[in-house]
Amino acid sequence: MPPPGLRIRPAVPQDNHSKQRVVDAAWISGHGHLFPRSVERLLRGERPEETFSYEYPRDKGIPIVADIRGQVVGVIDLRPLPDGSLLIEPIAVDPAFQRHRVGSELWKAAETLARRRDYRALVVWAVDGNKKAQGFYASQGCTPFASGKVMFDGVEATATGYRLDLAQPAGMTPLNVDIQ
Ligand SMILES: CC(C)(COP(=O)(O)OP(=O)(O)OC[C@H]1O[C@@H](n2cnc3c(N)ncnc32)[C@H](O)[C@@H]1OP(=O)(O)O)[C@@H](O)C(=O)NCCC(=O)NCCS
């Protein structure tokens, strides 16, 4: 069960500070063991250029947050790609709330929106070794379709692209979603 009071809603500029806190903490929780130097820099208040920065609006994406009574606990940003799919970048849940279905509710909101707007697939990338992301994307029915190299502070790693094709009608109703 998701935490009581969880609400999925469009992000507003006033959320940016909270979003940045959630994304940084989540990034460390998923990648810290792979990129210790980037973690040190983040904790020193520096910003490795590859980590996400919320200078709103970052791009023409669709920003969504999960909040519990006004506290942002999760973030998902969606960006249309030229091939008709929707890229998720990033998806992040406050480590204090991970494994409580917050990510799943954000994913449902993204999937519902994508289906309503006739996107053909959801696409997302994860660094190999980020077991949280790998387990989560598998749980959402994604399959790997591509791989590539990423670089964080001079450390090279492999990343895998996952996709969920949206040919089938949605079989789920999201919780408290007020995204159109
Ligand atoms: C990936 C992430 C968004 C998942 O959010 P979450 O709210 O913790 O996920 P949920 O509670 O909805 O989990 C749903 C299912 O995903 C899978 N899953 C989630 N976390 C997992 C983990 N740490 N290990 C293995 N599988 C996991 C499980 O199947 C889980 O179902 P279960 O709890 O019944 O076993 C979150 O762990 C996170 O923010 N990670 C750090 C940032 C990150 O890596 N983002 C993605 C790459 S950019």
Q: Which domains does the chain have, with CATH numbers?
A: 6-165 (3.40.630.30)
State residue 57's pLDDT score.
47
Furthest C-alpha separation in the chain: 46
Mean pLDDT of 62-80: 96
Q: Is a pLDDT exceeding 90 seen at residue 92?
A: yes
Between CA 54 and CA 46 the distance in angstroms is 14
- Indicate if ligand 1 lies below 6 Å from the C-beta of 87: no
Query: pLDDT of 22-32, one tens digit each?
Result: 999 999 999 99
Q: Which pLDDT belongs to residue 151?
A: 83
Asked if residue 93 has its Cβ within 6 Å of ligand 1, the reply is yes
Instruction: State whether the beta carbon of 133 lies less than 6 angstroms from ligand 1.
Output: yes
Measured between alpha carbons, how far is 90 from 25 in angstroms, rounded to an integer?
A: 13
Q: Are 51 and 42 in contact (CB under 8 A)?
A: yes
In angstroms, what is the span from residue 46 Cα to ligand 1's centroid? 26
User: Regarding predicted confidence, which is higher, 41 or 169?
Assistant: 41
pLDDT for 47 equals: 80
- Centre of ligand 1 to C-alpha 175, Å, is 18
- Tell me: the pLDDT tens digits for 54-64? 654 455 689 99
pLDDT at 170: 52
Residue 154's pLDDT is 83
From its phi and psi, is residue 13 left (phi > 0), alpha (psi between -120 and 50) or beta?
alpha
pLDDT of residue 122: 98
The total of other beta-carbon atoms located within 10 Å of residue 96's CB is: 10
Residue linked to tokens 């009071």: 5
User: Cis peptide leading into 13, omega within 30 of 0?
Assistant: no
How many other β-carbons are positioned within 10 Å of the β-carbon of residue 56? 12
Ligand 1 atom having least distance to the Cα of 107: 12
